[in-house]
Amino acid sequence: MIAALAVPSSASQQITINSTYSPPYTTPNRDGYFDLLLIEAFGRLGYQVHVNMLPAQRALADAASGRADGDIGRIAGLEKSYPSLVRVPEPALDSREFVGFSRHVDIATTSWETLAPYHLAYVEGWQIFRDNVPKQAIVTALHSTDALFRFLDKDRCDIALTARFDGLAMLKALHIEDVHILEPPLASLKMYLYLNRNRIDLVEPLAEIFREMKADGSIDSIRTQVFGRYARR
């Protein structure tokens, strides 16, 4: 199990990183994947980190303005739109898989076009789905992952689209059964930590720490500890 390292407590050694993620990535108990990753990584550099859970646009705005030191769980290229943010080049998460969940549909999702005949649902604002679902599909956008899976559970859509572990965590939280994941994943993306330019001195040290954590097994331990809670049996 990954534990927080002892770190200096002075205000100058504190870091605030925003996250828009719900469990299993960020949790109120600070035992999600990104929580434990950041505690360990910043701890190795002698910093105490606070992970702040915020809505997506506010999280980004606060990081870009410097009200927060950074934002985690973003795709590459964000710096083109937000030049005050610098990407830590080593991914914080090497693969976030985007999949379909269904109770009644059982197809191989070998392309986005395989979704065309179905009523699809996803959380509004998820650009990967907005940009890729077939135009001829019936689509409903919901306001939260909770609402998405309640919608699916009532058989109001054929397929709910989300990220793999986001969906597994919500199925467990809502005690929903008889829902399976459609394979293979429709897409898989690397997720990065971005820092405000006033913390640019930490970009390369953190990249090196992430590499070290992958090499020494720390990342695998965090993944097992967190994602193992949602393993399908």
Q: Is pLDDT of 146 > 80?
A: yes
The β-bridge partners of 98 are: 163, 187
Whether the pTM exceeds 0.75: the reply is yes
Rounded-to-integer distance, Cα 145 and Cα 167, Å: 8
Q: What percent of the chain has pLDDT over 90?
A: 85
As assigned by CATH, the class of the 14-95+190-228 domain is: alpha beta
How many CA atoms lie within 13 Å of 161's alpha carbon, on the beta-carbon side?
30
In the chain, list all ranges with CATH 3.40.190.10.
14-95+190-228, 96-188
**Cβ proximity of 86 and 92 under 8 Å:** no
SS3 of 62, please? helix
Question: At residue 36, what is the residue type?
Answer: L
SS3 of 49, please? strand
Identify the band that residue 231 occupies on the pLDDT scale cut at 50, 70 and 90.
confident
SS3 of 151, please? helix
Q: What is the pLDDT of residue 109?
A: 98
| Packed helices 164-174 and 145-153: angle between N→C axes, nearest 10 degrees | 70
Q: Model confidence over 28-47: pLDDT tens digits?
A: 999 999 999 999 999 999 99
Q: Which fold has domain 96-188?
A: D-Maltodextrin-Binding Protein; domain 2 (3.40.190)
Q: Give how far the C-alpha of residue 165 lies from the chain's centroid of Cα atoms, to the nearest Å.
A: 9
Tokens for 126, please give them: 């998820």
H helices of 45-126, in order, are 56-65, 78-81
